[in-house]
Structure 1
Amino acid sequence: MIKSLTVYMLSFSIVFIIVHFLQEFILNQLNSSVRFSLWDTNLFFAIASIVICLHLKFFSFFKKLQPQLGFIYLPTLFIKGILFFIMFKSPIFGLVDLTTTERLNLLIPLLLFLGLEVFFVVKIITKNEV
């Protein structure tokens, strides 16, 4: 479990650092800006994905829950969306219109963190099927 925790923390931290500073670099190069905090949104995506992976890893230790891990994972996407809406209701959803730059700066990190999250979830689920 400690090895898994370390791998998750290290992987999501590296992706967080790369994504955040690459976003800042590109925005500076384009002399563009966004009206919300990139740090906060990226941190939310990273922490939410780590928590989901850790919970599934923890649940995988229970024999009764192992066949249900895929079904346990599905509602987490919905819950993560609701939490994102609640936490960023005024900074993001309060904006009248998002620019293309702002949309991309939300969508790209979301997809990257979600991809890494799904990678780890698939590893957890397939390890328990054998």
Structure 2
Amino acid sequence: MLKNILIIIVVFLFVGTTSYFLHPFLLVEEHQFFVPLLKKAYLFHFSFSLILILAFIILARYDKYFVQLGFIYMGLLVFKIVVFAALFYPQLLGENLLSSFYRSSLLIPVIVFLPLEVIFISKIMRGKKAKI
């Protein structure tokens, strides 16, 4: 179990840092206000996804919770989207409105970390079903 946790953390760190450093590098023009916002978006998605997967590793050990993990994941995914929208509301829809290019660029961390979540959670659930 500890080996799996370390592998997950290393993969998240590698993919997250690689994506974070490539993202501003590939932008056409870099604004000073956008890079800190981008950093916050990457940190939010990195920490939320990593905590979610670690919690699923722990919850999958209990048969009582394992049956409900799919529903728990869907609920937490909606919660993650709501919290992200609330935290970044001024830049996405509020008074500090970014251009559509930068607003869509804030969704790149979602595209990076969501597949990682799905891959690891599906492995957790398949691994547990094989043991049952």
**Fold match by TM threshold 0.5:** yes
TM-align CA RMSD = 1.9
Q: Partner residue of 1:8?
A: 8
After TM superposition, list the pairs within 5 Å mapping 1:13-24 onto structure 2.
13-24=13-24
Write out the 4+ residue segments of structure 1 that deviate beyond 2 Å after TM superposition: 30-36, 85-101
Q: Residue 11 of structure 1: CA displacement? A: 1.1
8 Å contact from structure 1 (residues 34, 101) kept in 2: no
* AA matched with 1:113: F
* AA matched with 2:61: F
Give the 3 Å change call, closer, same or farther, for CA 44–70 of structure 1 in structure 2: same
Q: Residue 106 of structure 1: CA displacement? A: 1.6
Asked if 1:31 corresponds to 2:29, the answer is yes
* AA matched with 2:31: S
8 Å contact from structure 1 (residues 67, 129) kept in 2: no
Name the stretch that deviates more: 7-16 or 91-100.
Answer: 91-100
Q: Residue 108 of structure 1: CA displacement? A: 2.1
Q: Partner residue of 2:72?
A: 72
Matched residue count: 128
Q: Partner residue of 1:45?
A: 45
Q: Which runs of 5+ in 1 are unaligned?
A: none
Q: Residue 104 of structure 1: CA displacement? A: 3.2
Normalised TM-score (structure 2): 0.84
Normalised TM-score (structure 1): 0.86
8 Å contact from structure 1 (residues 53, 120) kept in 2: yes
- CA offset digits 1:40-72 (Å, max 9, x no partner): 101111111101111111100102222221112
Name the stretch that deviates more: 82-91 or 41-50.
Answer: 82-91
Q: Which runs of 5+ in 2 are unaligned?
A: none
Q: Residue 96 of structure 1: CA displacement? A: 5.7
8 Å contact from structure 1 (residues 42, 109) kept in 2: yes
